[in-house]
A and B are shown apart, each in its own frame.
Chain A
Amino acid sequence: MPHFAIIAVSILFDGLAYAMFLFITSVGLSVTMGLMGFVNLAHGAFAMAGGYIVVSLTRTLGIGFIPSLLIAAVTVGAVSVVFERGLYRRLYKATDLEQVLLTIGLAFMAIATATYFYGPIPKSVPLPLWLQGDIDLGFRTFPSYRAFLIVLGLFLICVLWYGFERTNIGAKIRAAVDNRRMAESVGINVDLLFTLTFAVGSGLAALGGGLAIQLFGLSPSFAVLYLVLFLIVVAVGGLGSLKGTLLAALVLGVFDTAGKYLLADAGGFFVFAITVLVLLVKPAGFYGRE
């Protein structure tokens, strides 16, 4: 076994890359659930849609990986507006259970559609050369793709943080999460805010889906398989909180990686054990409101 410090660095690096993926894909779900109180289990389907768009763009149209990611994010974000205005809007006042069922139904339809057009065989994407190799720092080599994930994640965190904390719109969103009625009575157009937040959240999910292809491969069942993971991040982090989602993603990502490295037998146990422990102590998650 190599030096303890090197193991720690490995676990932190890999865990951080994994955490960035979790954050990017889950943050949209957390904010929409916190802001709109809407349980959107089709979130995984949006991520999957993003992934398949990237597959089609790169394989069939020969567009580069990075541009494809952007196009997929924007497209899914735009399409999600149609869903939000046309369908979700009618159920904002409905019970949690009804929202769960509606969105699960949508997810099933999405999976069936993906199976019909792409087949059940998992897909992969061709990566540009600079993402394929690794970076040699002497004591360890680091896969370039994961380094890219970390850099991208940090960049998005900064953008989102700035948008949330420093802009007018961010302030309005935070106000609406805190107290929707008050925000409405002050003249904030909460409806528009919902649509905007939902679009950005879904766009980010699509981005996450595109990024996931290299990590896990993409097949139609992606929509529900990884949904549980996103829900855990959201629940542990606290609904509607950027900080919470980030912290939850970091904790879960690093511990899961550490668990797999040190105690492979326990496997997925860690993620669920942590979830239970956190929720028993802080039922609303790290930064949720009771």
Chain B
Amino acid sequence: MAASETTSVTTSAERAQARERAAEYLLSRHRFRWPEALPWLLAIAAYFLFPDRMTFGGQVLIMVLFALSLDLILGYAGIVTLGHAAFFGIGAYTVGLLIARLGWSEPLSSLVAAALVSALIGMISGWFLLRYRGLTLLMLTLATAIMLQETGNLRSDLSGGYDGLPGLVISPLFGVFDYDLYGHTNYLYVLGVLAAVLFFVRRIVYSPFGQALTGIRENVRRMHAIGSPVHRRLVTVYTISAAIAGIAGGLFTQTNAYVTLTVFDFDVSAKVMVMLILGGTGRLYGAFVGAVVYMVLEDHLSKMSPTFWQFGIGLLLVLAVLFARRGVLGLFEDAGQYFSRKRKQL
């Protein structure tokens, strides 16, 4: 049988139609279900229940956003890097420098600028570096973040070095809402940005593009074999991830009214990775669970004894890898399956 008889001849119009149908199908399978409202309800509840802890709350939300950006490349595309702090730092310094050197302090437009600059650097570095994997990629991304930090120190006249850029005053949001001492405005602001970004990420992930990413993660050889433009897809998702990390960094500067070169630290990259893994990768909301659990635990245990906290988080990691490889959300899924099986048995 000739091969041409079994393949369907498609015109570009037909292909476009097929893509649309696939997109609709995917989205219909992932309509908003009620559990998805849970994290947002909790976040708003926190605003009313813990009004004195809104500064901390803002920091947690920023980490959620940062972990979300990492989930795109780590959880969905399967790329392991050690230098994600680079984009966080770029975003943070874009906002910082806009205020300190150019006097531009409007919050939302600064975030857009932070996203654009990070995306640009993400695209360029991704284009070069995503040809590598494993230990090589880990070292290359780590080296990139450190070199950015060193460059910042070399030009400490611009960056403020490790003493940073202090006293950054943010203009009121929409010209109306002022940033107060208690961080109330800031919390709602960050929450709003997080919601917008999540909506955007959700659409990407539940689209043919998102499916392609999963394919790349699970079996990259197959993807090459079916002619999928793997490298281009990876660079695209890396760029988007960098942009979101940049937004998180920009929010960090705005929340603290301050930025130093420590935003590029290896520690920052490692912490966000731990948070994401603890919550569960490739599940969109793993970032929420992981970041909240980590930061709240750190806050509580650190107060009791910082040494105890470090031991505790180490132990948690070891136990997680041994018994809960897919993070907290994975545990929930397992529990859910266990209970539904039990129910079927009855």
Contacts and interface: CB of A to CB of B under 8 A. Distances in A.
B274 A101 contact: yes
A107 interface: yes
B318 A106 contact: yes
Contacts of A102: 317-318, 321-322
A268 B314 contact: no
Interface string A217-258: 000000000001001101110010000000000000000000
Nearest to A269: B150
A101 B132 contact: no
Interface size class of B (residues with CB under 8 A): 35 or more
B314 A112 contact: yes
Contacts of B132: 279, 283
A91 B321 contact: yes
A272 interface: yes
A33 B134 CA distance: 12
Interface string B277-289: 1000000000000
Interface string A134-157: 000000000000000000000000
Contacts of A105: 313-318, 320-321
Contact of A104 (B136, B147, B317): B317
B262 to A, nearest CB: 15
Nearest to A227: B266
A1 interface: no
Contacts of B310: 108-109, 111-112, 115
Nearest to B153: A267
Interface residues on A, range: 35 or more
A5 interface: no
Interface string B93-116: 000000000000000000000000
A269 B144 CA distance: 10
Contact of B308 (A33, A112, A231): A112
A266 B132 CA distance: 27
Contacts of B274: 101, 104
A102 B323 CA distance: 11
Contacts of B318: 102, 105-106, 109
Contacts of B138: 231, 235
B42 interface: no
B174 interface: no
B331 interface: no
Nearest to A108: B314
A109 to B, nearest CB: 4
A108 B147 contact: no
Contacts of A96: 80, 134
A273 B80 contact: no
A55 B147 CA distance: 34
B136 A283 contact: yes
B311 interface: yes
Nearest to A109: B314
A105 B138 CA distance: 18
A109 B154 contact: no
A97 B270 CA distance: 12
A239 B317 contact: no
Contacts of A269: 147, 150
Contacts of A283: 132, 136
B142 interface: yes
Given A265-B154, A276-B143, A108 B317 contact: yes
A260 to B, nearest CB: 13
A101 B314 contact: no
A272 B143 contact: yes
B150 A235 contact: no
B317 to A, nearest CB: 3
Contacts of B325: 94, 98
Contacts of B199: none
Interface in B248-283: 266, 270, 274, 277
Contact of A106 (B74, B136, B142, B314): B314
A239 B135 contact: yes
Contacts of B314: 104-112
A235 B139 CA distance: 7
A96 B2 CA distance: 44
22 contacts: A90-B322, A94-B321, A96-B80, A97-B80, A101-B317, A104-B270, A104-B274, A105-B313, A105-B317, A106-B314, A108-B311, A108-B314, A109-B311, A112-B310, A231-B139, A232-B139, A235-B138, A267-B150, A268-B150, A272-B147, A273-B143, A276-B140
